Amino acid sequence: MSKTEFDAVVVGSGPNGLAAAITLQRAGLSVLILEGKPQIGGGLRSMELTLPGFLHDTCSAIHPLAAGSPFFRTLPLGSYGLEYIEPPVAAAHPFDDGTAAVLTRSVEETARLLGADEKAYLDFFKPLLNQWPRIDADVLGPLSLPKHPIDFALFGLKALPPSTWIGHLFKTKQARALWAGMAAHSIQPLSNFATSAIATVLMTVGHLRGWPLPKGGSQQIANALASYFVSLGGKIETDFYVTNLSQLPSAKAVLFDVTPRQLLQIAGHRFSALYRWQLNRYRYGMGVFKIDWALDGPIPFTAEGCHRAGTVHIGNTLEEIAASERQAAGGQHPEKPYVLLAQQSRFDETRAPAGKHTAWAYCHVPNGSTLDQTAAIENQIERFAPGFRERILARHTMNSIQMQEHNPNYIGGDINGGIIDIGQLFTRPALRWSPYRTSAKGLYICSSSTPPGGGVHGMCGYQAAQRALKDVFNRLP
């Protein structure tokens, strides 16, 4: 690599690293991205994992937060090949009786289909749909004085309680389970405080913008971001794995799209004792076991609503999902795990050969687990889609350690860059005036281990870059 001086270097090309680099380059700086893998994207990679012609998303698959990101909305990504496809149903939640609850763009339709919980659902979500455009940047950012404090406080009243508490607002199994399936995206026991935040955000954004998938794979989001960055004059080098600061070219600022454990390995000798202590205490959450399938046909779900959904939450009732997540967090492997499933090829013909299909799914497991969960996941799908196994042509699996090997940010298979519980919701990765600053001048962390946490939205990278622009380059937003 050339030792040419840059204004800033970004280590890692996940969505946050790309967002940070774009923000700095747009400000007129010279920026270099260093990516350790041959392919950019981090969690935004797509590959033929099973059979030729079957394109699979290696991690993230469905992107409500990308489509609704306050930062990504400012970028002309459509001009760089990014096209979103919105399934008619954002998410479906099947039950043993052959029915399913569904989340659609229409809050009224979703509420009506919940029967006795129609009014409770509307009372909960309709105010949020009005408030969200005023508070989205504050919710998806560090703790600070919000621009609309009343709206922000009202959001907090719904987002901070345990999701099991909010579940009691609903009477029907349909509404309770739909809510639980959303809350389980938090990857922690549903009895934890702040687990309602992810459900509230995902469902609100689903009503406002849907849950789209990128045509041609999640890699297309990374490709569009990278192409835009390069069009601004930015530089990218792949196959360059950073293990220490001496590898880097001279730069006034370095932003790391890595988690605390990697940051300590790379730059720990530059940090204060207090900051090192804080990073060493940073906690990682549950891992995932993931399967991709090449299929001879679409998944034969019994419930019609599942056929129109890009995402299917498999877990039956709120009580069953809560028990599954509690067991996995406690070090066990549930017999009937909660399963997140995406079926992109139902809506994107580029994902599989004509007449064939792909499917993508994972369940939560103890951090670092290497136990094969193939049978448990496939049993859960077969439970709601009899005949599913007969359609499997090939499968590709990754346990939590293999997930980490694929993407070093997934410590022990934790795809959120650290647990986002109440203890780390506002103090990711350490308790500091700015969570993006390290204790070493010119070094910043911009990964999902900073606010607002996991998800493809780029806001961690954007916020970290804004901090660096103010601190190092005296640029005001």
Number of domains present in the structure of the chain: 2
Bridge-based pairing of strands 339-342 and 309-314 is antiparallel
The domain that holds 32 is classified in CATH as: 3.50.50.60
429 occurs within a structural domain: yes
Which of 385, 406, 427 is the C-terminal boundary of a domain?
Answer: 406
Average pLDDT in the 31-39 region?
97
Q: Are 228 and 132 part of one and the same domain? A: no
Sign of the dihedral defined by the CA atoms of residues 192, 193, 199, 205, in that order = negative
Average pLDDT in the 297-307 region?
98
- pLDDT of 476 reads 77
Q: What tens digit of pLDDT does each residue of 352-372 get?
A: 999 999 999 999 999 999 999
pLDDT, the chain, mean? 97
Q: Is the pLDDT of residue 2 over 80?
A: no
Q: Are 350 and 446 part of one and the same domain? A: no
412 occurs within a structural domain: no
Other CB atoms closer than 10 Å to residue 66's CB: what's the count? 27
Average pLDDT in the 406-417 region?
98
Residues with Cβ within 8 Å of residue 18, at least 6 apart in sequence: 33, 40, 222, 225, 226, 229, 458, 461
Other CB atoms closer than 10 Å to residue 256's CB: what's the count? 26
Q: Are 12 and 102 part of one and the same domain? A: no
Q: Are 208 and 191 part of one and the same domain? A: yes
Q: Which two tokens stand for residue 158?
A: 């719904």
Q: Is the pLDDT of residue 295 over 60?
A: yes
Q: What percent of the chain has pLDDT over 70?
A: 99
411 occurs within a structural domain: no
Q: Are 196 and 328 part of one and the same domain? A: yes
Q: How confident is the model at residue 475 (pLDDT cuts 50, 70, 90)?
A: confident
Q: What percent of the chain has pLDDT over 90?
A: 97
Q: Are 202 and 218 part of one and the same domain? A: no
Q: Is the pLDDT of residue 275 over 90?
A: yes
Q: Is the pLDDT of residue 3 over 90?
A: no
Average pLDDT in the 91-105 region?
98
Q: Are 306 and 359 part of one and the same domain? A: yes
- pLDDT of 259 reads 98
Q: Are 329 and 395 part of one and the same domain? A: yes
Cα separation values, 270 from 9, 183, 247, 472, Å: 17, 38, 15, 17
245 occurs within a structural domain: yes
Q: What tens digit of pLDDT does each residue of 108-152 get?
A: 999 999 999 999 999 999 999 999 999 999 999 998 999 999 999
The domain that holds 135 is classified in CATH as: 3.90.660
- Closest by alpha carbon to 96, among 323, 297, 298, 301? 301
Q: Are 265 and 159 part of one and the same domain? A: no
Which of 356, 387, 406 is the C-terminal boundary of a domain?
Answer: 406
Q: Are 306 and 390 part of one and the same domain? A: yes
Q: What tens digit of pLDDT does each residue of 242-265 get?
A: 999 999 999 999 999 999 999 999
Q: Are 325 and 306 part of one and the same domain? A: yes
d(CA 316, CA 338): 8
- pLDDT of 426 reads 85
Q: Which residue range forms the structural domain that includes residue 16?
A: 6-47+55-82+214-283+417-473
- pLDDT of 457 reads 98
- Closest by alpha carbon to 266, among 243, 249, 234, 233? 243
Q: Are 298 and 400 part of one and the same domain? A: yes
143 occurs within a structural domain: yes
Average pLDDT in the 308-329 region?
98
Other CB atoms closer than 10 Å to residue 139's CB: what's the count? 22
- Closest by alpha carbon to 458, among 151, 83, 41, 37? 41
The per-residue DSSP string of 41-65 comes to -TT--EE--SSTT--EESS----HH
395 occurs within a structural domain: yes
29 three-class SS: coil
39 occurs within a structural domain: yes
Sign of the dihedral defined by the CA atoms of residues 163, 164, 165, 166, in that order = positive
- pLDDT of 31 reads 98
d(CA 128, CA 136): 11
**Whole-model pTM above 0.85?**
yes
Q: Is the pLDDT of residue 1 over 60?
A: no
Q: Which two tokens stand for residue 396?
A: 């590709």
Q: What tens digit of pLDDT does each residue of 373-387 get?
A: 999 999 999 999 999
Which of 377, 406, 435 is the C-terminal boundary of a domain?
Answer: 406
- pLDDT of 465 reads 98
1 occurs within a structural domain: no
Q: What tens digit of pLDDT does each residue of 207-248 get?
A: 999 999 999 999 999 999 999 999 999 999 999 999 999 999
Give the residue carrying structure tokens 């621009």. 147
